[in-house]
């Protein structure tokens, strides 16, 4: 029997991992709800028309597609038959001519060639072509040679006898000027052609042709496009501004590697239907609350604005804004010199590049950066708009800080070099990095102005934030940030010695459960050691041992598995102890 | 622009539905955890080798399959080419002979037929066959006629000239006994054959051939098979007995209809690695706790045992146990007479049928039913085993009842006619019905003895229960059982009149949030009416109105949206009010 395996790039989450993941999810969900976001779930599968064309060409190839349950064989056959017909019409003439030309040239060059031997003819054609003696394009030669040397037995049978006649015919009529017309209408030609065509029918079926034929649905690639689709479909029922959060898995047929999976969760919160910068300020606060709740203390919330980047682009005098963004995005990875090289190769002038880097390299507080940029952007409308937005976001955080013990600007850093990959951002952009942990960004987002436009609802501004659970998980493991409570197990297991104490223990279990204490009774009759082992392995913190003495006295032995201590207590005291621990 | 739609049989869950669904999920999860079950999640996609053959033939056709991202076109081409070759070998001879026989018979009957006109020949063949003058099977005739009358232009071109020559050849040699051999090796034959074959290549591609070619993965169909796969893959790390719960969506390509979806959630809890009947008792308690938590009061937990059904089967003297189970399962739907009819048609004898129905129709308490069956099963080992198990489960519930205010046997009904569809059950079986609600069973489960056997790990006994969230949801809507708390929205929205009060409100929001109160500030400058409308539509229960007077005095207006009352309070009092409401 074959051992079962998991599809590559996918994972099971066992109890210990699940508990930690639920800890992350629960905290993010709590924060989202505290800020007025409401939950949404969309189906795992979407129509391909909803998904394709939204993630670029590469994204399209990474979609997982569902094979239609309908008659896909019929669709493929119909497609093949159609292809066959159009092929006959389209390339029939040129093929016929090519074959005739090749045969004619061969027979002029080698009038005494043995036309029985098609392998010889094939090799002859190759040789003549290689020596420049055949005046046909390489692809035509390949076509004919491949046909001649094809090893399919059904072709050999057919070709063998046919070619003899065919070459003989051409040989005999070599001097006649009208041969081409005559030969082309000769049944041999039609037959040859037909045979070749049936080859082409298969040859011409590519993944690109087939995949749309047999798939109408795909698995969602992110939560943003389904959200946009939902908003458009429900726009008459939705109360705008619409604040939704969504915590669901997404699927990408990426090549799996360390930290990159084919199924992974995204945790998104978005507001659409308002351009109020309060949403940006709330995103900063939510990030702070999430990281606080997760016990991650040392992190940076980088913030920038697409219009500020546009302002930078204006300073270079180049129209090629997106090339500049792409290059700046690499600064962290490849360094200043390589970025400059790339910009030069993209046609940016040295003067412009210097202007950009004098800004990127400016050191100072957020306030100093803003003051510096205000001068630089004196002539840039876009730059000014970006700065004004950013200042207002910071101002709103300032207002938030009027109460509360911590500064609402804490962890926030204005990073002029932050660019973010996705093309749809138009306003503020965010990225969160955990300091001193070698993991990329664990959260990111920004404002977009036309996400629903592609579904027919233009001019809906929105802003969102997304948390990457897998990276947060890994970072928290590295930081040992998971608390005790990120564990899901019974609070107490009841061990027993015989049937009488087993039966007695059920009443005890029921009392504990009635007080909300997660309790399990070891289900089998087994030695105490085995029962304790089970509790240990499942990380159950307390064991209640019930022997006949305990049953009689009502004073049960409560064992603290971590401390190794035990005490004899009545059931009420036990319940109280368990609830307080 | 095309309007976006959802794939049929799938649903979005907006905020109001999500809150109610989360209420159900949270309560089920809490109960599972309280009984020592730990969470597991498996990937949405599994290898098809894991999924197929587990749900019967019908189940296999209902699997959603993922199209391979690899070279599926190549696979199809390779398959088609292979099919072509084997077809040439297999049916070449018989086809050649058929074609020859048809032509010969035609030409003997109609020596002066115009061989230029293939349509005429085709119709001639049909006529001759209809009048019984052609000695060939119908399928052979069809083959030839279809070929002759095929309307594909590429064939017409080819056939037209070929057939003239071909029929002429046969006509001229009609007297020669050796014609068949000669004709069969003539290139015309080979060509005809080849052409026919290229048709067959497509004809023979069926969904059944294609689907395994282009799919290696599918979406999970239930949570049980992935669970069994997980247990087998992790058997060396798992502590048995292993108690896991799993709450995830499953996918079935069923025809969508009211209450039946293509994506739906299952909530399963299973214990594997013990045959202790305590697990069955715990399942009963968990059902009671779940329904209690959901506020569903009037429901019945039907319980039976597969061995009791086997005992019934023994009484009929028939070996056909599963036919009896299937028939009994329909009792509710089609009634006693029809079930009897079905049993008779399956070869059950009247005496046996009467014996079964004297038991099925026995009225009485669970205790009376057990006493009655004990007599009936005096000779049935299986029947006795089933009764003993059932009695022990009831005894364990009795023991549980020794404490606590409600009887642990509450809602439990021993139903001898309960059969359950799935074939893998071997012990106790359960089904829960909500009384007076026209919805099928909302929960079901049972014991199985060899679920992991199919993956190479035999003899692992397990028992599980599954809750159907969609039906529970519908039933709770009908019963109006969802409480106020099954709603997720901000507790309070802050409305403001101008920029100054808007900015001031942020500090207020922060104070409320710091006390865990879900708070949102209306993000835009808008008329109070619009702000209140937003709060109303989002079902936010309180609105805090802040005007310049309020800002000055620090006494803010708290509006209870449901009661329509409002009062002026300081922030601390507001926080207290919100926390208590």
pLDDT digits over B6-52, tens only?
999 999 999 999 999 999 999 999 999 999 999 999 999 999 999 99
The 8 Å CB, 24+ separation contacts for B510-515 are B510/A285, B510/A400, B510/A401, B510/A402, B510/A403, B510/A404, B510/A408, B511/A403, B511/A404, B511/B571, B511/B575, B512/B571, B512/B574, B512/B575, B512/B578, B513/A34, B513/A35, B513/A285, B513/A289, B514/A403, B514/A404, B515/B575, B515/B579
Task: Specify the higher pLDDT residue, A474 or B151.
Answer: A474
Indicate if the pLDDT at residue A201 is higher than 80.
no
Q: Interhelix angle for B278-294 vs B381-400, to 10°?
A: 50
Task: Specify the higher pLDDT residue, A83 or A131.
Answer: A131
Q: Could B513 and A71 be called an inter-chain contact, meaning their C-beta atoms sit closer than 8 Å?
A: no
Instruction: Compute the nearest-CA separation of B372 from chain A (Å).
Output: 27
One DSSP character per residue, A91-156 reads HHHHHHHHHHHHHHHHHHH-TT--TT-HHHHHHHHHHHHHTT---S-HHHHHHHHHHHH---HHHH
On whether the CB atoms of residues A39 and B488 are closer than 8 A, the answer is: yes
Q: How confident is residue B102, by pLDDT bands cut at 50, 70 and 90? A: confident
Indicate if the pLDDT at residue A227 is higher than 80.
yes
Instruction: Return the pLDDT at B581.
Output: 84
Instruction: Return the pLDDT at B256.
Output: 87
Instruction: Return the pLDDT at B113.
Output: 65
Residue B186: DSSP 8-state: S
Indicate if the pLDDT at residue A186 is higher than 50.
no
Indicate if the pLDDT at residue A423 is higher than 90.
no
Indicate if the pLDDT at residue A105 is higher than 80.
no
Closest B-chain CA to A229: B4
Closest A-chain CA to B186: A161
Q: Going by C-beta distance under 8 Å and a sequence separation of 6 or more, which residues neighbour residue B470?
A: B259, B261, B264, B265
Q: Could B72 and A207 be called an inter-chain contact, meaning their C-beta atoms sit closer than 8 Å?
A: yes
State mean pLDDT over A201-216: 72
Instruction: Return the pLDDT at B153.
Output: 41
CB atoms within 10 A of CB B188: 19
State mean pLDDT over A223-245: 95
Q: Could A152 and B15 be called an inter-chain contact, meaning their C-beta atoms sit closer than 8 Å?
A: no
Q: How confident is residue A516, by pLDDT bands cut at 50, 70 and 90? A: very high
Instruction: Return the pLDDT at B428.
Output: 97
**Which phi and psi angles does A284 have, rounded to 5°?**
-60, -45
CB atoms within 10 A of CB B107: 19
Q: Which of A438, A518, A579, A477 is nearest to A24 (CA)?
A: A477
Instruction: Compute the nearest-CA separation of A526 from chain B (Å).
Output: 12
Kindly state the percentage of chain B with pLDDT values over 90: 59
Instruction: Compute the nearest-CA separation of A409 from chain B (Å).
Output: 13
Indicate if the pLDDT at residue B91 is higher than 50.
no
Instruction: Return the pLDDT at A181.
Output: 44
Sheet holding B566-569, edge to edge: B519-521, B492-496, B542-546, B556-560, B566-569
Instruction: Return the pLDDT at A89.
Output: 46
- Which of chain A's residues have a Cβ under 8 Å away from the Cβ of B43? 6-7, 10-12, 263
**Average pLDDT for chain A:** 85
Q: Going by C-beta distance under 8 Å and a sequence separation of 6 or more, which residues neighbour residue A130?
A: none
Instruction: Return the pLDDT at A112.
Output: 67
Q: Going by C-beta distance under 8 Å and a sequence separation of 6 or more, which residues neighbour residue B510?
A: A285, A400, A401, A402, A403, A404, A408
Task: Identify the residue among A46, A73, A537 best suited for mutation to test binding to B, counting B beta carbons within 10 A and taking the highest.
Answer: A73
State mean pLDDT over A103-126: 70
On whether the CB atoms of residues B65 and B48 are closer than 8 A, the answer is: yes
Q: Could B40 and A33 be called an inter-chain contact, meaning their C-beta atoms sit closer than 8 Å?
A: no
State mean pLDDT over A44-61: 89
State mean pLDDT over A337-352: 91
Q: How confident is residue B79, by pLDDT bands cut at 50, 70 and 90? A: confident
Instruction: Compute the nearest-CA separation of B117 from chain A (Å).
Output: 16
CA distance A406 to A170: 94
Task: Specify the higher pLDDT residue, B339 or A93.
Answer: B339
Task: Specify the higher pLDDT residue, B488 or B506.
Answer: B506
**Average pLDDT for chain B:** 85
Closest A-chain CA to B153: A85
Q: How confident is residue B407, by pLDDT bands cut at 50, 70 and 90? A: confident
Q: Could A523 and B274 be called an inter-chain contact, meaning their C-beta atoms sit closer than 8 Å?
A: yes
Return the top range by mean pLDDT from A405-409, B113-117, B264-268.
Answer: B264-268
State mean pLDDT over B358-381: 92
Strand pairing category for B566-569 and B556-560:
antiparallel
Indicate if the pLDDT at residue A184 is higher than 70.
no
pLDDT, tens digit (0-9, with 9 covering 90-100), for B518-565: 999 999 999 999 999 999 999 999 999 999 999 999 999 999 999 999
Instruction: Return the pLDDT at A134.
Output: 74
CB atoms within 10 A of CB A499: 9
- Which of chain A's residues have a Cβ under 8 Å away from the Cβ of B39? 13, 15, 18-19, 22, 488
On whether the CB atoms of residues A248 and B12 are closer than 8 A, the answer is: no
Of A189-193, A513-517, B377-381, B529-533, the poorest mean pLDDT is in: A189-193
Q: Going by C-beta distance under 8 Å and a sequence separation of 6 or more, which residues neighbour residue B91?
A: B200
Indicate if the pLDDT at residue B164 is higher than 90.
no
- Which of chain A's residues have a Cβ under 8 Å away from the Cβ of B217? 7
Task: Specify the higher pLDDT residue, A145 or B367.
Answer: B367
Instruction: Compute the nearest-CA separation of B68 from chain A (Å).
Output: 8
Q: How many CA atoms lie within 13 A of A140 on its CB side?
A: 18
Q: Could B191 and A158 be called an inter-chain contact, meaning their C-beta atoms sit closer than 8 Å?
A: yes
Task: Specify the higher pLDDT residue, B198 or A62.
Answer: A62
Burial B462-482 (b: 16+ CB within 10 A, else e): bbbbbbbbbbbbbbbeebebb
The tokens for A402 are 């009027």
On whether the CB atoms of residues B256 and B483 are closer than 8 A, the answer is: no
Cα A503 off chain centre by: 53
CA distance B411 to B320: 33
Q: Could B190 and A161 be called an inter-chain contact, meaning their C-beta atoms sit closer than 8 Å?
A: yes
Query: Which of A89, A249, A511 shows the shortest C-beta gap to B44?
Result: A249
Indicate if the pLDDT at residue A560 is higher than 60.
yes
Q: Could A1 and B455 be called an inter-chain contact, meaning their C-beta atoms sit closer than 8 Å?
A: yes
Q: Could B233 and A190 be called an inter-chain contact, meaning their C-beta atoms sit closer than 8 Å?
A: no
Instruction: Write the CA distances from B509 to A402, A464, B526, B577, integer angstroms.
Output: 11, 20, 18, 15
């Amino acid at each position: 029997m074959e051992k079962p395996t998991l599809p590559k790039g996918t994972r099971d989450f066992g109890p210990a991992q699940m508990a930690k993941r639920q800890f992350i999810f629960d905290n993010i969900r709590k924060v989202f709800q505290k800020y007025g976001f409401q939950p949404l779930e969309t189906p795992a599968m979407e129509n391909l028309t909803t998904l394709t064309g939204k993630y670029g060409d590469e994204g399209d190839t990474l979609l997982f597609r569902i094979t239609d349950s309908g008659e896909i064989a019929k669709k493929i056959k119909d497609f093949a038959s159609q292809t066959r017909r159009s092929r006959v019409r389209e390339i029939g003439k040129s093929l016929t001519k090519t074959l005739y030309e090749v045969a004619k040239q061969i027979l002029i060059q080698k009038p005494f060639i043995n036309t029985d031997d098609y392998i010889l003819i094939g090799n002859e054609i190759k040789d003549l072509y290689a020596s420049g003696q055949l005046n046909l394009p390489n692809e035509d030669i390949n076509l004919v040679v491949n046909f001649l040397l094809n090893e399919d037995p059904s072709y050999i049978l057919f070709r063998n006898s046919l070619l003899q006649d065919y070459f003989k015919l051409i040989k005999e009529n070599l001097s006649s000027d009208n041969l081409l017309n005559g030969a082309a209408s000769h049944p041999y030609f039609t037959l040859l052609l037909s045979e070749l065509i049936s080859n082409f029918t298969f040859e011409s079926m590519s993944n690109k042709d087939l995949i749309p034929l047999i798939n109408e649905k795909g698995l969602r690639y992110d939560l943003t496009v389904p959200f946009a689709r939902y908003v458009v479909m429900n726009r008459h029922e939705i109360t705008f501004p619409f604040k939704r959060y969504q915590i669901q898995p997404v699927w990408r047929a990426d090549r799996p590697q360390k930290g990159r999976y084919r199924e992974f969760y995204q945790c998104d919160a978005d507001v659409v239907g308002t351009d109020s910068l309060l949403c940006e300020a709330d995103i900063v606060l939510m990030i702070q609350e999430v990281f606080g709740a997760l016990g991650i203390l040392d992190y940076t919330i980088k913030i920038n604005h697409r219009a500020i980047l546009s302002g930078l682009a204006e300073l270079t005098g180049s129209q090629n804004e997106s090339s500049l963004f792409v290059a700046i995005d690499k600064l962290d990875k490849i360094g200043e010199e390589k970025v400059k090289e790339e910009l030069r190769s993209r046609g940016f002038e040295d003067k412009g590049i210097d202007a950009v880097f004098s800004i990127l390299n400016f050191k100072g507080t957020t306030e100093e950066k803003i003051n510096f940029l205000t001068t630089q952007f004196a002539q840039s409308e876009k730059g000014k708009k970006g700065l004004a937005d950013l200042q207002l976001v910071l101002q709103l955080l300032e207002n938030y800080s009027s109460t509360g013990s911590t500064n609402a600007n804490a962890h926030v850093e204005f990073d002029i070099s932050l660019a973010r990959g996705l093309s749809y951002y138009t306003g503020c952009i965010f990225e969160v990095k955990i300091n001193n942990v070698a993991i990329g960004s664990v959260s990111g987002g920004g404002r977009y102005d036309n996400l629903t436009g592609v579904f027919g609802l233009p001019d809906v501004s929105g802003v969102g934030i997304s948390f990457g659970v897998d990276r947060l998980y890994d970072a928290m493991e590295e930081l040992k940030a998971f608390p005790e409570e990120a564990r899901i197990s019974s609070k107490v297991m009841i061990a027993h010695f015989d049937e009488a104490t087993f039966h007695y223990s059920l009443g005890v279990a029921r009392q504990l459960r009635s007080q909300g204490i997660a309790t399990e009774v070891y289900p089998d009759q087994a030695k105490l050691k085995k029962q304790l082992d089970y509790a240990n392995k499942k990380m159950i913190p307390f064991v209640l041992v019930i022997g006949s003495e305990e049953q009689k006295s009502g004073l049960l032995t409560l064992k603290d598995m971590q401390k190794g201590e035990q005490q004899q207590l009545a059931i009420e005291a036990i319940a109280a102890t368990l609830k307080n621990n």
